[in-house]
């Protein structure tokens, strides 16, 4: 009888784990499938060695937000407190989406149809004095590629840049953003050329 209970408990635990993992996968796929697409200009963290192993470390021009763009700065506070930040993006004529404003916590108004709010996170200690910038993490700072694909992507970027400097040129990341502001990377872009697309599942 005790053995039977142990087997039942193990099956229930396994099903709970499978359900949890399944919900994570389905949630991510829903964002990729239904989220509004934005193209973010990438600022490589280390332009001399962008690809490390089987993932790409990324920084964006929206990773640093000018304090003047934060609409609800707390009165009398000189440094940031850890918490969420909403950054409003608008598409520029060059096709990249850039920050137009931001709010600590939540946005005061919904984004108009031609803009998108993306949810990020700010850590403690960033200066909130005029002229300063704060660093925002969006959870999209790493782009994983299948094993062995990283070198091929790097070589393709270098080949496209053969007539220019030997370092990598600017490229973009296509991100899907859902209605709550959560972003998921969809694709690695070089101009209009898709170098790698993230599968739904």
- Domain segments of the chain: what residues? 36-197
What single DSSP character describes residue 46? Answer: S
pLDDT of residue 14: 73
User: Highest-confidence range of 42-46, 54-58, 77-81, by mean pLDDT?
Assistant: 77-81
pLDDT, one tens digit per residue, over 106-119 is 999 999 999 999 99
Burial class (CB in 10 A: 0-12, 13-18, 19+), 136: buried
* pTM score of the predicted model: 0.78
The stretch 64-75 carries a mean pLDDT of: 94
pLDDT of residue 166: 47
* Terminal-to-terminal C-alpha distance of the chain: 40
């Amino acid at each position: 009888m005790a053995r039977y209970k142990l087997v039942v408990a193990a099956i229930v635990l396994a099903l709970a784990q499978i359900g949890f993992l399944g919900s994570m996968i389905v949630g991510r796929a829903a964002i990729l499938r239904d989220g509004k697409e934005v193209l973010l200009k990438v600022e490589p963290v280390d332009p001399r060695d962008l690809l490390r192993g089987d993932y790409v470390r990324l920084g964006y021009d929206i990773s640093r937000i000018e304090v003047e763009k934060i609409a609800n700065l707390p009165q009398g506070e000189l440094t940031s407190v850890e918490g969420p930040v909403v950054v409003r993006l608008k598409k520029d004529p060059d096709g990249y989406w850039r920050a137009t404003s931001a709010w600590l916590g939540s946005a005061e108004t919904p984004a108009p149809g031609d803009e998108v709010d993306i949810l990020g996170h700010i850590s403690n200690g960033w200066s909130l004095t005029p002229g300063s910038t704060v660093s925002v993490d969006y959870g999209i700072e790493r782009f994983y590629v299948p094993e062995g694909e990283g070198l091929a992507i790097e070589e393709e970027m270098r080949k496209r840049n053969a007539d220019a400097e030997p370092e990598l040129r600017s490229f973009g990341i296509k991100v899907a953003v859902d209605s709550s502001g959560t972003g998921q990377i969809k694709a690695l872009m070089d101009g209009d050329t898709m170098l790698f697309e993230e599968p739904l599942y």
